[in-house]
């Protein structure tokens, strides 16, 4: 019969990607509706060769019946309207940070923990973009060797801050005197070790997301995560340097083979031929790319790797659509 689907925040960068990915993956949709705030309600969006008028997001419309509502409209919007939609019996897949660490709310990466979706109806949280790509790469190694500690440094694209940040980087590349507005300092030709607000312990909110979300998704709160998140002058795709210490001694060749066989992972690891992932080649793709896989020089229980993924797609929109697909698959 097809699904009744709504996209909340449809005019934003992630919302538009959700529409594209629903089309690309040929999700069986009977009715698609788009919602946004007063600022963009009434705009026209194209989907499958047709124009859809963006509707105003209201409490009343969230009480209507949908098979799925995909949210990418910010935390305050999600806190109010996702709760209303779920109370009305709808399944909500939310891209904000609002619900991720709430007890009883599944935090899902379909390649990693799809079992938490079984027979669940309500709000489902989409993890942080930088967390998603890291756990996709680490999950098969966690199953084999058990993870003790992760040290990760991220190199995150400006698209993670929205369209205004993309424009700001473009302006600064063309005009050295362009004044920063989105970021506290110039981003072109620069790196900012500052994503989200700083906490009293010296870590940013983004860094702590990677700590606690990783533990929740991998279902092990003993995993130690030390994260440094950095904004870099790249338009699309996040990169990560990940060093992992395991409980059991890993075999490098076996680990590489586990990653080759892992769902959603593409291994590009041939340094002799300069083959490794980059943000440019990952942009527009849905896989998580892994390269520079190597053993630690001093600790036989430790491996290092380089992980790259498109933050708007697998880091947000694609993961949300894959959650929808996994729920439908589990119904069969």
Catalytic residues, which ones? 129, 238
Residue partners of 62: CB distance under 8 A and separation at least 6: 69, 81, 84, 85, 88, 90
Token pair in block for residue 82:
């996702």
Output DSSP code: residue 192. B
Rounded Cα distance, 263 and 112, in Å: 9
For residue 48, the SS3 value is coil
What secondary structure, in 3-state letters, does 224-286 show? EEEEEEEECCCCCCEEEEEEEEECCCCCHHHHHHHHHHCCCEEECCEHHHCECCCHHHHCCCC
Judge whether 106 and 125 are in contact, CB under 8 Å: yes
The number of CA neighbours under 13 Å toward the Cβ of 231 is 22
Judge whether 149 and 167 are in contact, CB under 8 Å: no
Judge whether 117 and 326 are in contact, CB under 8 Å: yes
Judge whether 308 and 286 are in contact, CB under 8 Å: no
The number of CA neighbours under 13 Å toward the Cβ of 131 is 27
Residue located via tokens 């529409």: 19
Residue located via tokens 């705030």: 37
Rounded Cα distance, 290 and 306, in Å: 6
């Amino acid at each position: 019969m097809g699904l009744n689907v709504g996209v909340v925040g449809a005019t934003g960068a992630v919302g538009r990607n959700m529409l594209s990915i629903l089309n690309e993956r040929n999700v069986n949709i009977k009715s698609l509706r788009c919602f946004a705030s007063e600022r963009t309600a009434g705009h026209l969006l194209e989907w499958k060769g047709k124009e859809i008028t963006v509707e105003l997001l209201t409490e009343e419309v969230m009480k209507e019946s949908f098979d799925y509502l995909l949210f990418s409209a910010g935390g305050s919007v999600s806190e109010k309207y996702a709760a209303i939609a779920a109370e009305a019996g709808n399944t909500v897949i939310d891209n904000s940070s609002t619900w991720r660490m709430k007890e009883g709310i599944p935090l899902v990466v379909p390649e990693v923990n799809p079992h938490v979706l079984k027979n669940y109806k309500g709000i489902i949280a989409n993890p942080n973009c930088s967390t998603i790509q890291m756990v996709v790469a680490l999950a098969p190694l966690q199953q084999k060797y058990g993870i003790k500690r992760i040290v990760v440094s991220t190199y995150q694209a400006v698209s993670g801050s929205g369209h205004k940040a993309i424009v700001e980087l473009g302006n600064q590349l063309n005009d050295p005197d362009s004044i920063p507005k989105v970021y506290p300092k110039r981003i072109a030709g620069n790196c900012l070790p500052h994503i989200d607000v700083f906490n009293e312990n010296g870590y940013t909110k983004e860094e702590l997301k990677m700590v606690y979300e990783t533990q929740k998704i991998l279902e092990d709160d003993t995993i130690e995560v030390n994260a440094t998140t950095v904004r870099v002058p790249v338009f699309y795709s996040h990169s990560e340097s990940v060093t992992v210490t395991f409980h059991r001694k890993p075999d490098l060749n076996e680990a590489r083979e586990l990653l080759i066989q892992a769902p959603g992972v593409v291994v590009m690891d041939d340094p002799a031929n300069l083959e490794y992932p980059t943000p440019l080649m990952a942009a527009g793709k849905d896989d998580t790319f892994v390269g520079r896989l190597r053993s630690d020089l001093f600790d036989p229980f430790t491996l290092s790797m380089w992980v790259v993924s498109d933050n708007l797609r697998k880091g947000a929109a694609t993961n949300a659509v894959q959650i929808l697909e996994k729920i439908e698959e589990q119904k069969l």
